Structure 1
Amino acid sequence: MTELLRLSDVTRTVHLPDESDLHILTGVNLSIASGDHIGIIGRSGSGKSTLLNLLGLLDKPTTGTIEWDGRDTRDLSSRQAARIRGRDVGFVFQQFNLLPGRTALDNVAAPLMYAPGRAFWNRREIAAEMLRRVGLAARVDSMPESLSGGEQQRVAIARALVRGPKVVLADEPTGALDVETGAEVMQMLDAVTYESGAALITITHDIAIAQMARQRFRLEGGKLLSVAEATP
């Protein structure tokens, strides 16, 4: 497997108005390769969103290094980081964030409006195939409001995967779903990303969802610990 991301001694500190420092992450180490499914669990305020922003190249560490395909992200300009993020990172959130008044097909095809060449001209065919892969071949012309919560999240997943990202970041992806539907959606997301060779990082507070990952970590006190190291 090809290593995609490597975090080495990554910290993230925020300087507060009262002149004190808030240490959110303190020495995070993580290696992410193609085909990985990594589950990261943590309580509210544990730094999950901060870590997500770093993995998604939305922010840079205070100290330490993040390498993307062997390149130190500190050397990337904002434009270069945005280009990698748009091309190689897919985001799945708790809220589906589908475009109202647009069909499932239109929602999934939307990211391809900015794609080059064939992907742009064939965007509707590519989007339809992606919807088929997530089990929604019969719902391509459906509006978001006519879809169940699980179906809406499947559309959101298809949209995240339509450009063939190398890394998929799922932030509480089942938070708006019931337990059974959430488990089904996660199984589908795991299968589709693994089939495509992408790495899947699931960030959640739900132990059952994190346990579906092949590698599991817990954020505690700003540190990322393997499940074996984490306190009960």
Structure 2
Amino acid sequence: MSDPIVRAAGLTRTVELPDAEPLRILRGVDLEVAVGDHVSIMGRSGSGKSTLLNILGLLDAPTDGTLEFDGVPLQRMSAGRRDRTRGRNVGFVFQQFNLLPGRTALENVEMPLLYDGGRSFWRRRTLAAEMLERVGLGARLEQMPDRLSGGEQQRVAIARALIRSPRLILADEPTGALDVETGAVIMDLLDHIATQAGAALITITHDPHVAARAQRAYRLADGVLHETSPVLEPAAAGGVA
């Protein structure tokens, strides 16, 4: 493995509850992910998958343990540096798309570039149009989200996540709101673009078919990551996700 873009060691996340014992969501997570990796993380609902993703994406901080991004410990980052690192290097793809309803596909994709300076700011519409062309929506630039299918909305969300060429893509149940066929197309697209860009891809999923696409697969159970085989077992391959 090349030098990891993300290195987590002993990550814990505990939430204090009024009149109850603290809720221990993560109990010691270890993970290294390098640029070019594709890692999947499975787990039951409520197992802490999204909590872990938010920590890896610098949206949240662990209660204990260490997290390094490009070799820099999270503890040494100011809030401003953490935000800049996340904005430049991390792209998020969510199950619910999170598109702005009053903006066109083009306007949704160009939004992250509004916070850039220099050339990318002034070329944001051109860059957004090129990215939408890459995901197969070159003819749908001016459509509002409610005029797009679920698969098309997810393509817009992927284009928006990748518009700043992130080195780490975090996908939280990216096919969860889609039918099986459309979900497979979306994962093909996400895999292809991540590979082309040389980006690391971490996919949170409950679907073993999605998890099986990864180079390395993990299951989050009892607050700890356990490495598993990314290959579908015969029973799972013939079952319903």
Output the TM-score relative to the length of structure 1: 0.95
User: What is the CA RMSD across the aligned residues, in angstroms?
Assistant: 1.3
CA distance in 2, matches of 1:2, 1:114: 29
Matched residue, 2:223: 222
User: Matched residue of 2:65: which SS?
Assistant: strand
CA-CA distance at 1:2 after TM superposition: 4.0
Number of aligned residues: 229
CA distance in 2, matches of 1:148, 1:168: 23
Matched residue, 2:40: 39
| Counterpart code for 1:85 | R
Range 62-71 or range 134-143, more displaced: 134-143
Q: Write the deviation string for residues 23-58 of structure 1: whole angstroms up to 9, x where unpaired.
A: 111111110111111110010110111101111111
1:50 and 2:51 correspond: yes
Matched residue, 2:95: 94
CA distance in 1, matches of 2:116, 2:199: 19
User: Matched residue of 1:142: which SS?
Assistant: coil
CA distance in 1, matches of 2:192, 2:30: 26
| Unaligned stretches of 5+ residues in structure 1 | none
- Runs of 4+ off more than 6 Å: none
CA-CA distance at 1:19 after TM superposition: 5.1
| Counterpart code for 1:89 | V
Q: Write the deviation string for residues 145-182 of structure 1: whole angstroms up to 9, x where unpaired.
A: 22111011000000000011111111111111001100
Matched residue, 1:68: 69
Matched residue, 1:170: 171
CA distance in 1, matches of 2:200, 2:19: 40
1:205 and 2:206 correspond: yes
1:1-232 matched pairs, under 5 angstroms: 1-18=2-19, 20-228=21-229
CA distance in 2, matches of 1:201, 1:42: 14
